[in-house]
Amino acid sequence: MSYETDGVGNNMGEFVTGRVGEIAFASVQHLSLVAQSLVIATVLGVGIAALVYRNATFSAVANGVTAIGLTIPAFALIGLMVAPLGFGVTPAVVVVVFYAVLPILRNAVVGLAGVDQAVVESARGIGMSRFRTFWRVELPIAWPVILSGVRISGQMVMGIAAVAAFVLGPGLGGLIFQGLSRMGGAGSIESIVTAVVGVIVLALVLDLALLAIGRLTTPKGIRV
């Protein structure tokens, strides 16, 4: 047991030092893919939520789509994207955004629907337009709930983003595919473990960043 651990440890060390440049590059690409997808997903999720949250039926549909969407295997979805979108970054972004939207959408609907109606009424009552009421009152008040959706999304799609490698997209997924394709061969396990550890570290980094963004963007009056 101890021999094997040592062996893996030694090999891990060699693996990482030998390919530090490649790993660092893949990590940055991975984080960048996730971060940009999260931005797009936040805009989309909040946008869709803004269209549906006032209507009980639409909100129920949105929640249903969210629940079903999360059950679709990421591999299947990215496979389906190859035909229309080809290989590379585009299908990877589409798939990551798709999964990232779901928790954000659900939280945004909950958050916006949870804004005290009295507050909305008084905003309208003093002459704020529908749009201004949404932008200046409802969105800021719902923001902490939306942001916790963004954090859930970030954690979730950090792993999902690895499938991007399937369409030759960017990120740490490449190391996993290399390992899988040479399963049993030299360095295959090390490759996979490196990718997994990398994903976990990136997820922590991202979460801390989102936490900081949350502190900065949550109005003081509604901070808990």
Partner 1 sequence: MSDTATARSEGDERTITGKAIRLEGVTKRYPGQQRPAVDGVTLEIPAGQVVMLVGPSGCGKTTTLKMINRLIEPTEGRIVLGEEDVTDIDGDDLRRRIGYVIQAGGLFPHMTVAQNIAIVPKMLGWDDARVKERTTELLDLVSLDPDTYRDRYPKELSGGQQQRVGVARALAADPPVLLMDEPFGAVDPITRQRLQDELIRIQHELRKTIVIVTHDFDEAVKLGDWIVVFREGAHIAQYDTPERILAEPADEFVESFIGSGAGLKQLGLQRVRDVDLAEAVTARPGDSAADALARAEAAGHGHVVVVDERDRPLSWPSRRALQRMTSIPEAADPKTPVVGSGATLNDALDEMLVSSAGAALVTGHRGAFVGVITVEVVMAAISAVRAAASDAMAGAPVGTNASDPAARGSDG
Q: Which residues bind partner 1 (CB under 8 A)?
A: 118-119, 121-129, 132, 137, 140-141, 219-222
CB 166 within 8 A of CB 73: no
Q: Determine the Cα–Cα distance for residues 184 and 192; give it in Å rounded to an integer.
A: 12
Q: How far apart are the first and last CA of the chain?
A: 49
CA angle 21, 27, 31 (to 5 degrees): 150
Q: Cβ closer to partner 1: 115 or 175?
A: 115
DSSP 91-105: HHHHHHHHHHHHHHH
Token pair recorded at residue 168: 């030759």
Q: How far is the CB of 76 from partner 1 (least distance, A)?
A: 42
Q: How far is the CB of 145 from partner 1 (least distance, A)?
A: 13
Q: How far is the CB of 143 from partner 1 (least distance, A)?
A: 8
CB 110 within 8 A of CB 144: no
Q: Cβ closer to partner 1: 122 or 181?
A: 122
Q: Cβ closer to partner 1: 83 or 216?
A: 216
Q: Cβ closer to partner 1: 32 or 129?
A: 129
Q: How far is the CB of 118 from partner 1 (least distance, A)?
A: 5
Q: Cβ closer to partner 1: 178 or 218?
A: 218
Q: How far is the CB of 215 from partner 1 (least distance, A)?
A: 14
Helices vs strands, H then E, count in the chain: 10, 0
Q: What is the widest separation between alpha-carbon atoms in the chain?
A: 74
The amino acid that residue 73 corresponds to is P
Q: Cβ closer to partner 1: 50 or 141?
A: 141
Q: Determine the Cα–Cα distance for residues 82 and 80; give it in Å rounded to an integer.
A: 6
Q: How far is the CB of 48 from partner 1 (least distance, A)?
A: 23
